Amino acid sequence: MPRFSIIVPASGVAGRLSQALDSVLTQSFGDFELIPVCDAPGSPAGAVAAGYAERDHRVVPMTSPSSGGPGVARTTGAGAATGTYLLFLEGDDVLTPGALAAIDARLTETGEVDVLYFDHQRVHWWDGETSTPPLGEAPEGAFTPGEAPELTGVSVPAWSAAYRRAFVAGHRLVFPASPFADLGWGGLVTIAAERVAVLRTVCVRHLLRRQGPGPESRGEQRTDLLDQVELVLDRAAAAGLPEDRLGPLFTQLFSVVLDTAAHPERLPARWRRRLFRRASRLYRRRRPAGFRPGVRHRLLAAGAYGAFRALCGSG
């Protein structure tokens, strides 16, 4: 059984896939299997993956329909994985040198944890600048989620963590077939995890891509965001998540919603208003008892879209 199974959704990234695969295969720590998940064996990415598999037995290509998006590809790869821990790497991102050795060392130090969150670096395509989002004030050693309730998977991309495979299988965790799969997955992982850890080392360099289709064509997809929010809140209620953990989770979920509703480049005006109104109803229905909201949250609770738009300065 390998230490790590590294799953790489490869749809539409054939031109950069070699960089991602090379960044894994040249790691100083070599106890892993590498699972590129492609549209089909004969696709451009499939051809790249097949070439690597011929040269290195650790490369095990899989296929998954591109219509399911990266979330379904990740679930497909995880279902075939045999490693102790799962890692997810985007097909045009790279592991930093020494990343797997650092992750293994922290896991050895902490003992068995359900999730290990680690730092990543965002690389801006437009100017080559980088930024490293922080993991907050959570301790680096092993701890329970209740000891650091502000650290939720909602704010951590799926490719910025290692997940114990037995934990994922035991809780039947799968990625939603959604543009917001990371939010749904991260929230469900947070609710289920009993022991987590943090590694403040940059292990992934993530390329911030150019925007795809215009905001109008993304409108329908953006409304799926609220489906993921409701999915996570339903699971939190079923699990009886205590108030000290539910509050930060609720805040972060709706902060994503409010950020989406505030930016014209993410949604055209008519979709932002529609999203805001539906979010307002969901917010009022699911707001935790005793929750003390900030200004944006109060406007959402009141359904005051005009005031919210004025506050954000959006068109």
Residue 30's CATH number? 3.90.550.10
- Determine the pLDDT at residue 209: 66
Tens digits of per-residue pLDDT, 261-293? 887 666 677 788 888 899 999 999 999 988 888
**Could you give the count of Cα atoms lying within 13 Å of 94 in the half-sphere of its Cβ?**
12
Neighbours of 105 (CB within 10 A): 14
Are 302 and 265 contained in the same domain?
yes
- Determine the pLDDT at residue 214: 41
Q: Are 24 and 52 in contact (CB under 8 A)?
A: no
Are 128 and 16 contained in the same domain?
yes
Whole-angstrom CA distances from 252 to 96, 149, 154, 189, 190 are: 28, 11, 7, 14, 12
Are 227 and 108 contained in the same domain?
no
Tokens of 305: 């879209």
Q: What percent of the chain has pLDDT over 70?
A: 90
Q: Are 169 and 86 in contact (CB under 8 A)?
A: no
Last residue in a domain, options 175, 208, 241 = 208
Q: Are 206 and 153 in contact (CB under 8 A)?
A: no
Q: Are 263 and 280 in contact (CB under 8 A)?
A: no
Tens digits of per-residue pLDDT, 143-169? 999 899 999 989 899 999 999 999 999
Are 199 and 221 contained in the same domain?
no
Whole-angstrom CA distances from 17 to 92, 138, 219, 292, 306 are: 6, 33, 29, 45, 44
Q: In this predicted model, which residue has the larger pLDDT, 134 or 88?
A: 88
Mean pLDDT over 124-128 rounds to 62
Last residue in a domain, options 187, 208, 229 = 208
Are 119 and 66 contained in the same domain?
yes
Are 199 and 73 contained in the same domain?
yes
Are 100 and 17 contained in the same domain?
yes
Residues 6 or more apart whose Cβ sits within 8 Å of residue 181? 69, 70, 71, 74, 158, 175, 228
- Determine the pLDDT at residue 263: 74
Are 21 and 126 contained in the same domain?
yes
Are 220 and 199 contained in the same domain?
no
**Number of domains observed in the structure of the chain:** 2
- Determine the pLDDT at residue 265: 64
Cα–Cα dist 17/10, whole Å: 7
Cα–Cα dist 9/17, whole Å: 10
Are 203 and 227 contained in the same domain?
no
Say yes or no to pLDDT of 84 above 80. Answer: yes
Average pLDDT over the chain, rounded to an integer: 88
Are 202 and 221 contained in the same domain?
no
Q: Are 199 and 116 in contact (CB under 8 A)?
A: yes
Q: Are 10 and 17 in contact (CB under 8 A)?
A: yes
β-strand partners of 120 = 204
**What predicted TM-score, i.e. pTM, was given to this entire model?**
0.91
Q: Are 190 and 154 in contact (CB under 8 A)?
A: yes
Strands 62-63 and 32-38: parallel
Domain that holds residue 54: 4-208
Last residue in a domain, options 162, 179, 208 = 208
Cα–Cα dist 26/36, whole Å: 16
